[in-house]
Amino acid sequence: MSVRLVLVRHGESLWNTEKRYQGQADSGLTERGLAQAEVAAAIVEAGFGTADLVLTSDLPRARDTAAAYESRFGGVPVRVDARLREIDVGDWTGRTFAEVAAAHPERLAEFERGVDVRRGGGETFAELRERVWAALTEAAAEVGAGTVVAFAHGGSIRVAAAAALRVPPPGHRQFSPPVNCSLTVIDYGGPDATHALVAYNQPTAAGATGGAD
C-alpha cells in the first residue's frame, strides 16, 4: 500500500492579516488568498494530476481554496470532512495575538514551554492530531494506492506531519507553521508501515505567510 497525501494549507484569510486567532471560526479569504488558491491549484495539478480523492475541511477558508483545484477538473468531487478543521481555540477565537498575550501571559508561557494546554478552553493538540490523522488514514485506506489531496489548516498539517513520522505529542512543535497555500506531502505506507515526509511547508505563492491557527 502506498498513498501520496498532498496537504494544502488554505489561502490568506482576513484574520491572518489582522493577526487574530481563527480556530474554528472563519473570516473568509482575502483577494490575495483567492489568488494564492489559483496558483496552488495549478501547481498541485502540474505535480500530481487528478487526485483519486479530494478532501477539504468544512471551514469556508479551506473549502474556497479547494474550489480552485476542483474547477480545474470540471468539478472533480470534493468530500468535506470536519475532522480536518483547525484546532478549537475556545474564547480566544477572533482575538488578536497581542490581546491574548496581554490577558493570558501565564497560559501562553505554559504553551511556549511545550505544555499541551487548552487555549481558550478549546482543544489540545493531541486531540487535534487524533482526529486529523484518523481522517487522512481512512482516506488512504479507501484509495489503497494513488493520491489524496486534502485542503486544511496550519495546525492540522503540523500534527499530520508529526503523526506521519511518529513523533510523540506534542512533536508538532518541531515543525514550523505552514504558510498560506503551502504543500506538505506524505507518502503513507499503511497502518503498520513506515511513512515518508516527502515535502513540508513548500511555498506555492510569493508573499505567503504563516500564522497561528
Active site residue 86: yes
List the catalytic residue out of 10, 153, 172, 195: 10
End-to-end alpha carbon distance in the chain = 32
d(C-alpha 111, C-alpha 189), whole Å? 32
* Beta pairing partners, 96: 20
**CA-based radius of gyration for the chain:** 16
d(C-alpha 22, C-alpha 26), whole Å? 6
Question: Is 11 buried (19+), middle (13-18) or exposed (0-12) by CB count in 10 A?
Answer: buried
Q: Which residue has the cell 499503511?
A: 190
Peptide bond into 178 cis (omega under 30): no
Longest dimension (CA), the chain: 51
Q: In 10 A of CB 121, how many CB atoms?
A: 11
Active site residue 195: no
Q: Which residue has the cell 493570558?
A: 104
Closest CA relative to residue 200, chosen from 157, 147, 149, 139: 157
List the catalytic residue out of 12, 38, 70, 86: 86
* Beta pairing partners, 117: none
Active site residues: 10, 86
